[in-house]
Amino acid sequence: MERTIAPGKSELGAQHLEIVLDETARGVQSHYVPVTDEEKALNKRVNRKLDCFVLSLLALEFTFCGIDKTNIGFVATSSFPKDVHLGADAFPHSISLFSATYVVLQPVMVILARRVGVKYFLAVQLVTWGGLCMCHTAIRSAGTLIALRLLLGAAEAGFTQIGNYYMSTVYPKAELAWRVGLFSSMYSLAGAFAGLLAYALLQLETPHLHGWQAVFLLEGGFTVLLGLLTPLALPRRLGTAWFLTAPERAHALYRMEVDLSGTQESADDEDAHGTGTVTRRDLADVLTDWKKLATVLCNVTSVLPGMGYYAGPDATPMSAPPFLAGVASLLLLVRSSDRVRERSLHTVAGRLLGVVDCIVMAVSDRDALRYGFCYVCMAGVFVGGPLLAVWLAGNTPWKGARGVVLGVNGWSNVAGVIAGQIFKDKYAPRCEAAEIATWDEQRFADESTSQVRRGDQRHTFRYGL
């Protein structure tokens, strides 16, 4: 059973040290759990205020991180490609190149955030990527699009992991999955909300402003406003949280000490400005820990196949319901994970649903069935990322090494590079039947003599016995 020390104690006493040693001998991980009714009430007040001022702000910022990242896909259904003279593969190339900077710089950005201070680093990060999103209104060629996507990828890099790291410094392990799940669900909601928002903004066509320009301008502008709010709202460190009373700050610090009892040393503490260091030892500890590196490798999830042949503006609102299903499942599973204090089985259960979906996507050519199984996929795969991040944070007590391992975990976003190369025009998913229905006799003749495609590569070929 979990044990705690009395609220208000600044240091771990001999009695608690004995408890920690006993739990270590029994192979039980120490973590904070409130015991008395008074302590539970105090703990709830602290969590309520942290949820209100920290979690809610980070979640809103993550929503617009997702919106600003994915809005390029929604404007692709508008006049944007024609207005800026884009080729068929300009979008998939821009997606891959976005990920090229976004993925590579993940650990670097988390390390910088720890060195500079999370609240200040996030402020600069949001203002930068919001401004770059607004700059998309001036795109006139594929080269400009690719350059901006590269810069946007660099600006957004590490935001998710920085948010996870920051929350791991203010919430105990046993209460972290629910918060990280809520935080991560905002990105999933962004997938649903972004489609509906973009659909509405795309209707704002005027003689002086295209609908796609309104999408970039308004969505990027709101991100800039959030960036300006961040240094005013987020505390530099838990001990200086302006929205907590003195007893609440003491309790907030005490429960984190209990959570890390026996595994944390003063050399890893942050200074009064909320900044810390990352040493060579921190880097070596992460890069030589095969268990955590294997966990990161497992987090490189399968790229979601196409939903079927739904083209044009209709595809935008149809993307919302599967994302909402994913959010509901994510919140259910992370809540369960915190309650039963278990991570791995919840993660595996979610991934199995994703595997089932990928099998259906691969073998079925029925658009309605494939779209329906997108709900199944979203309901499963969304939970893996948050729970694995929580496991990594909870099992890396030193904050320097924790920042590094969460940054390395960001490399799992390499799936975005894969996605950009899979969803090219020449690999259009199962749309041949709908296309062939519009062919005339000459088009059939051209296909039968095509030197580009032969045998089962031809659109007219059908697999059978």
Has residue 376 got a pLDDT over 70?
yes
Is the separation of the CB atoms in 116 and 158 below 8 Å? Answer: no
Has residue 358 got a pLDDT over 60?
yes
What are the residue ranges spanned by the domains of the chain? 44-264+273-430, 441-465
Residue with tokens 């039947």: 433
Question: In degrees rounded to 5, what are phi and psi of residue 369?
Answer: -65, -45
Has residue 81 got a pLDDT over 90?
no
Residue 287 CA to residue 331 CA, distance in Å, equals: 31
CB atoms within 10 A of CB 401: 21
Highest mean pLDDT among 354-363, 402-411, 428-437: 402-411
Highest mean pLDDT among 8-12, 270-274, 289-293: 289-293
Read off the amino acid at residue 179.
R
Which pLDDT band, with edges at 50, 70 and 90, does 4 fall under?
Answer: very low
The structural architecture, per CATH, of the domain 44-264+273-430 is Up-down Bundle (1.20)
Which pLDDT band, with edges at 50, 70 and 90, does 57 fall under?
Answer: very high
pTM of the model: 0.78
200-249 pLDDT per residue, tens: 877 777 778 887 888 888 888 999 999 999 999 999 888 889 999 999 99
228-237 pLDDT per residue, tens: 999 999 998 8
Has residue 24 got a pLDDT over 60?
no
Q: How far is CA 16 from the centre of its chain?
A: 37
Is the separation of the CB atoms in 361 and 311 below 8 Å? Answer: no
Residue 219 CA to residue 66 CA, distance in Å, equals: 11
Structure tokens at 108: 């670097």
Q: When comparing pLDDT for 191 and 107, which is higher?
A: 107
Is the separation of the CB atoms in 32 and 274 below 8 Å? Answer: no
290-339 pLDDT per residue, tens: 888 888 887 775 444 444 444 444 555 566 677 777 788 888 888 988 88
Residue 119 CA to residue 270 CA, distance in Å, equals: 13
Q: What is the 3-state secondary structure (H, E, C) of the chain?
A: CCCCCCCCCCCCCHHHHHHHHHHHHCCCCCCCCCCCHHHHHHHHHHHHHHHHHHHHHHHHHHHHHHHHHHHHHHHCCCCHHHHCCCCCCHHHHHHHHHHHHHHHCHHHHHHHHHHHCHHHHHHHHHHHHHHHHHHHHHCCCHHHHHHHHHHHHHHHCCHHHHHHHHHHCCCCHHHHHHHHHHHHHHHHHHHHHHHHHHHHHCCCCCCCCCHHHHHHHHHHHHHHHHHHHHHHHCCCCHHHCCCCCHHHHHHHHHHHHHHCCCCCCHHHCCCCCCCCCCCHHHHHHHHCCHHHHHHHHHCCCCCCCCCCCCCHHHHHHHCHHHHHHHHHHHHHHHHHHHHHCCCHHHHHHHHHHHHHHHHHHHHCCCHHHHHHHHHHHHHHHCCHHHHHHHHHHHCCCCHHHHHHHHHHHHHHHHHHHHHHHHCCHHHCCCCHHHHHCCCCHHHHHHHHCCCCCCHHHCCCCCCCC
